[in-house]
Amino acid sequence: MIGNSLFRFSVIFISIISIISCASSPTGRSQMILKSDASLEQEGARQFRKLRESLPLVQDPRTIDYVACVTNSIIDVVDGDYADLYWELAVVDQPDVNAYVLPGGKIVVNTGILNMATNQDQLAAVIGHEVAHVTSRHANERASRAAVTGVGVDIAAIILGGGYRNQTQGARDALSTGAVLGLLNPFSRLQETEADVIGIEYMAKAGFDPRESVELWKKMNAKNASKIPEYLSTHPSGETRIDDLIAQYPSALEYFNNAKANGLSPNCNL
């Protein structure tokens, strides 16, 4: 009886998700967008201000200008609504090999990434990836999916728990773990792959050598000693990313050669 109810719930739940997944990413992938972009951008701006107040920002103008030069070159090839977005950059003096983006185009680059991305093309691969997260509305999509998944887990837990509190909580815990491993983690990996695909296009259109994205990931892969199984991770494995990037070479190199032919040849190196 419970199994039949859960099955009917799953069918209905998936049907609702299919109906509301009406947006499309730049790659043409169907997206579930339920949140307000404006509200997410406001929150991103608020978090960015807090971050700038609390983290140690780089003071060296040469380093700031270098990262800003690469970032501006990437942003210059972004079209559509995101070309007019108020992009901002913070270069943070922290050793972590990391860069990330907040909703609304707030890009954060740790100095640790500069020790790994040792030339402007490799840094462009990092920045292109982060810009792609913004233009693909990944933050909105993740927030929307997390909200819907949370509601689905609660309802399914009530069904499986049969109205008993302890059983319902146990079912909720098990379903939450299943949702992370079976829905949210693969979805996060999908977004990371999509950001790689769009990001390599951006860097190539800006005149950066797309082949350097693979060289960067070879170094990142060698540095990452912990071999977490891919299904447990929110990111694809290094090997998967390298294979996916190489698969983009034909189109990316065409963009790169066209950029060079049109005089786009950034000179950002320190």
Tell me if 96 is assigned to some domain.
Answer: yes
Distance CA 121, CA 218 (A): 14
Tell me if 115 is assigned to some domain.
Answer: yes
Tell me if 269 is assigned to some domain.
Answer: no
Establish whether 130 is a catalytic residue.
yes
Tens-digit pLDDT string for the chain (270 aa): 444 444 454 444 445 554 555 678 888 888 888 888 999 899 999 999 999 999 999 999 999 999 999 999 999 999 888 988 999 999 999 998 889 888 899 999 999 999 999 999 999 999 999 999 999 998 888 888 776 654 333 333 333 334 434 443 433 343 333 333 333 334 477 888 999 999 999 999 999 999 999 999 999 888 775 554 433 344 567 788 899 999 999 999 999 999 999 999 899 987
Q: pTM of the predicted model, to two decimals?
A: 0.78
Q: What domain count does the chain have?
A: 1
**Which of these is catalytic: 41, 130, 192, 201?**
130
Tell me if 270 is assigned to some domain.
Answer: no
User: With 0-12 CB in 10 A as exposed, 13-18 as middle and 19+ as buried, what is 56?
Assistant: exposed
- Of 204, 183, 191, which Cα lies nearest the Cα of 252? 204
Query: What is the domain extent for residue 128?
Result: 2-261
